[in-house]
Amino acid sequence: MNDFRIPLGSWADDFIAFITDNFSFLFDFVRTIFNGAYEFVDLVLASPPFWVIVLVAGALGLMVRGWKFAVGAVVGLIVIVGVDQWQNAMDSLALVLVASVLAILVSIPLGILAAKSDLASKIIRPILDFMQTMPAFVYLIPALILFRVGVVPGIEATIIFAMAPGVRLTELGIRSVDREVVEAGEAFGASPARILRQIQLPLAMPTVMAGINQVIMLSLSMVVIAGMVGAGGLGQQVVASLSRIDVSLGFEAGLAVVILAIFLDRMTASLGTGSTPIGRLLAARKHRRQSAAAAAESAISAPVADLKTPQPA
């Protein structure tokens, strides 16, 4: 019995070796793209003085949620500056933003596909289960081989780990759109693409936004793990504090992660509800545009009004 051994591990090893040998150009290409995107976002976030970013964050908070949240955001970010983690926090934020955007870009189309096709849904679901439950460290190993030490394996592992809720909630959102409303689109002769764009996606938007929120939160939780492969930022600080048993550094870096997490969560959570100051602003603009259109149209409606429908007296 002791001889019984399924060599799954060595197969996985062979597989990674195979793609390393044959597709290294592809991974070099991906590496360049990811790295470029990260460097750019990090440049934008880390090069201006901290108070510029703090003010921008405060202004965003004011627009999205109101003044209380804006004040909280400014105070929180100043705490990060105060514990001397600003540079690391900006590195981590850049990593989270790049990884989240990429994860969303992949997961929303996948979610749409899964919602439209039962077969796709059946194939995608176990893959997502696998991706979500496999311990996140495991992704780092092949990522290290394929992309070498640095930010890119961190981004890659983050994308794989974080995209599952994006796919799932997009699928759920589209599938739970009222069947009759979709049918109405069909009954009036709308094409499937148009139904998706004008009916399914807008109505699924709160659920999709919840998915995006989850993607960002999971990305942030991966930041620490990414620190183990040299991704830098707050993760590296946490890993360093662990190896040195440095409580103060660990607490400060950890607190910075928490502050970033709360800020990103509240920002993205309120985008989905549409009840934000910015949402109201957009609605007011839309309304103005509509009444302008109505005015324009009433000006010309006299010649257009000779419709078949008689005017009620």
Binding site for another protein (CB under 8 A): 178, 180-181, 183-184, 186-191, 194, 198-199, 202-203, 287, 290-291, 293-294, 296-298, 300-301, 304-305, 307-312
What is the nearest approach in angstroms of another protein to the Cβ of residue 103? 26
Cβ(163)–Cβ(107) below 8 Å:
yes
Cβ(90)–Cβ(46) below 8 Å:
yes
Minimum CB distance to another protein smaller for 206 or for 250: 206
Minimum CB distance to another protein smaller for 24 or for 198: 198
Token pair of 81 as six digits: 């500056």
What is the nearest approach in angstroms of another protein to the Cβ of residue 204? 11
Cα 243 to its chain centre, rounded Å, is 31
Token pair of 50 as six digits: 């901290």
Minimum CB distance to another protein smaller for 247 or for 307: 307
Cβ(171)–Cβ(111) below 8 Å:
yes
- Dihedral sign, Cα of residue 280, residue 284, residue 290, residue 294: positive
What is the nearest approach in angstroms of another protein to the Cβ of residue 178? 7
Minimum CB distance to another protein smaller for 71 or for 292: 292
What is the nearest approach in angstroms of another protein to the Cβ of residue 306? 10
What is the nearest approach in angstroms of another protein to the Cβ of residue 308? 5
180 Cβ contact partners less than 8 Å away, ≥ 6 residues apart: none
Minimum CB distance to another protein smaller for 244 or for 288: 288
In angstroms, the CA 52 to CA 59 distance is 11
Cα 119 to its chain centre, rounded Å, is 25
What is the nearest approach in angstroms of another protein to the Cβ of residue 188? 5
In angstroms, the CA 24 to CA 27 distance is 5
Residue 261 phi, psi (nearest 5): -60, -45
CA dist list (Å): 308 to 236, 304, 305, 311, 312? 72, 11, 9, 9, 12
What is the nearest approach in angstroms of another protein to the Cβ of residue 246? 52
Token pair of 185 as six digits: 């689109």
Token pair of 239 as six digits: 């890993």
Cβ(231)–Cβ(153) below 8 Å:
yes
Minimum CB distance to another protein smaller for 72 or for 274: 274
In angstroms, the CA 1 to CA 225 distance is 38
Rounded to 10 degrees, the C-alpha dihedral 279/282/288/289 comes to -140
Minimum CB distance to another protein smaller for 47 or for 198: 198
What is the nearest approach in angstroms of another protein to the Cβ of residue 284? 13
